[in-house]
Amino acid sequence: MLNQQLPNKHHHTRFYLVMITLIIGGVFVLLFLNNDGNGFSLTNAIIRNTNNFTEDITAFNYDEIFNAKSGDLRITSDPTLAKSDKNIVFSLKFDKYPKIDQEVQIGNLELNFNDLVTQITINDNKLELNNLQDINLLMNNFNGKLSFEGHKLSLSGAAKRIEVNGVAFSSEEEIKISFTELGYKSFTLIKASINSLELDEGNGDLIVGNKLEYSLAGDAVKLLYFEGLLDMNQESGFLTLDGSTRALGVSGDLNFNLK
């Protein structure tokens, strides 16, 4: 009887091992299909692959995103919209800074500041910046929360590499960094992925592809799923955006939305 029990137990263990392996294999296949740096999204991979996703994504819940009459851009966190192949390439120079308070992914971040009061923590250790007038902080592959309003920047997340005035911190694991309301002089994000950007009424120039040039005067701008370069310089007082977006809305004297 013991001999009968042992083989059965062995076969059961084998069966469960194989089944769990197959399930995990399926999960990884979906992860690989979905891998675009935007994190885990099981449903998105299923939608893209089971529906032979070729339909125009702008028709998908577009009315929920834009109110075409008022140009009011209602930001949705629907991740499927970020996966579209259709992006609007544009360049914007604006005299107002956006308010951001969200999770972002940034390829390279360059921050120039001389605020020595604000505490910066790296891996839960305080970064001592003494006798320095000008500080240049560089980060590679940052994931985390970014907030800026006006001339203050707050950041909390992790990066692969951090450099402060030429002194680099790098690790095989991620390096945690955080600071709150840091006054900066200039701020550049390269290869940034930001879900939404809202710019209050201001002045500037908008160039969309090679087709549209529009001078903004007292217009507000809203962007959905921006990817590209973002530069803010206190000295010049201008914001520069250079990249692509899923949807762009301008509201002011003329209201229009681009998709």
Partner 1 sequence: MKKELVDNNKCLMTIRKSRKSCLLEYSCGIFLLLLLGISVLKRIYQPKLHYFVLSLALFSFVYAEGSRLFVRYKIMPKKTIIIKGIIKQNRKNVYFHPLGFVTDINVKQGRLQRLLNYGTIYVQGAGGISFEIKDISHPHQIMNVIEDLIEKSKHPEKKKI
Give 17 or 132: the residue with its C-beta nearer to partner 1: 17
Q: Which amino acid is at 125?
A: N
Give 33 or 217: the residue with its C-beta nearer to partner 1: 33
Give 6 or 254: the residue with its C-beta nearer to partner 1: 6
Structure tokens at 15: 């069966």
Give 4 or 210: the residue with its C-beta nearer to partner 1: 4
β-pairing, 186-208 with 212-233?
Answer: antiparallel
CA 35 to chain CA centroid, nearest Å: 15
Taking the C-alpha atoms of residue 191 and residue 90, their distance in angstroms, rounded to an integer, is 14
Give 32 or 218: the residue with its C-beta nearer to partner 1: 32
Nearest distance, CB of residue 4 and partner 1, angstroms: 12
Q: Which residue has the tokens 């979905």?
A: 34
Nearest distance, CB of residue 121 and partner 1, angstroms: 22
Is the distance from CB of 107 to CB of 227 less than 8 angstroms?
A: no
Contacts with partner 1 by CB under 8 A lie at: 2, 10, 13-14, 17-18, 20-21, 24-25, 27-28, 31-32, 35, 37, 40
Length of the chain in terms of residues written: 259
Nearest distance, CB of residue 6 and partner 1, angstroms: 8
Nearest distance, CB of residue 27 and partner 1, angstroms: 7
Nearest distance, CB of residue 52 and partner 1, angstroms: 24
> Which residue from 219, 246, 253, 250 is spatially nearest to 95, judged by alpha carbons?
219
